[in-house]
Structure 1
Amino acid sequence: MNTAPIHKPTESELEILQILWRKGDCTVREVHEILEKNKDAGYTTTLKLMQIMHEKGLLSRDTSSKTHIYRSLVNEQKTQEQMLNKMIDGVFNGSAARLVMQALGNHEASKDEIDSIKKYLDELSKK
């Protein structure tokens, strides 16, 4: 996987990346069928987006057979970190605490999620 800094994926590109991260290598048709379940998306639009993502270096494309197979070239964890850091800096003035408090204040967390957060905070405070 590529670990170099990436271009910030657009919302549509991120939807495609999430499919590829979850399912692995896919054809345009496979990606399109998954996208169509949640939104009205034309096949040619999906194809064009994936071609652009290939040009940007976000995806690789295996053209050895008639049906091209696409693969993500960017790491999910690294992409999430880069996008989150940009949001923390740009929206929350560099404060991760403000981001967490905003997220927990606006969304109901399950008991398991809260327990997991407490455990993580305990581990951080021990370092």
Structure 2
Amino acid sequence: MSKPTESELEILSLLWEMKEASVRQVHERLAEIKDTGYTTTLKTMQNMHAKGMVHRNEEQRTHVYRPITNQKETQKSLLKNLVTTAFGGSAQKLVLQALGAEKPSKEELDEIRAFLDQLENQK
């Protein structure tokens, strides 16, 4: 699968949440967060179908799309690419930058600590 563009990733995120949806349903959700035209959403979803990112059910008049790509695998691939290109392959630099950019809540820090403890216990 090719790397999704920012617009494709926004649509994939909605489809992962919604499981399946028509172009109209996706467009209505997108319009809540950004100014975009229906035809732009339609064309992007058609391109995503051509790229193999989404399946299109054409049995009814209104085509229904669902993601083919797995959310976790896509995130893993994008993160690996980001770490390699932007952080010289250093996960440490990525994490430090991410934690420094936004002040994590106490709950988030507790989850991070628990995750780190789990990683250490696996060794």
TM over 0.5: yes
- Structure 2-normalised TM-score? 0.97
Aligned partner (choices 65, 74, 81) of residue 86 of structure 1: 81
The residue aligned with 2:104 is: 109
5+ unaligned residues in a row in structure 2: which ranges? none
2: CA distance, partners of 1:106 / 1:70: 35
Aligned-partner Cα distance in 2 for 1:45–1:106:
32
- TM-score, normalised by the number of residues in structure 1: 0.94
What secondary structure, in the 3-state scheme, does the structure 1 residue paired with 2:55 have? strand
**Separation (CA, whole Å) in 2 of partners of 1:105 and 1:68:** 43
Q: CA deviation at 1:31?
A: 0.2
Unaligned regions of 5+ residues in structure 1, if any?
Answer: 1-5
CA distance in 1, matches of 2:60, 2:117: 52
1:45-64 equivalences under 5 Å are: 45-64=40-59
Counterpart of 2:71, as a letter, is E
Q: What's the Cα RMSD here?
A: 0.6
Residue 126 of structure 1 deviates from its aligned partner by: 1.3
CA offset digits 1:51-98 (Å, max 9, x no partner): 000000001100001000001000000000000000001111111011
Q: 1:3 corresponds to which residue?
A: none
Q: Deviations over 1:13-33 (max 9, x none)?
A: 000000000011100000000
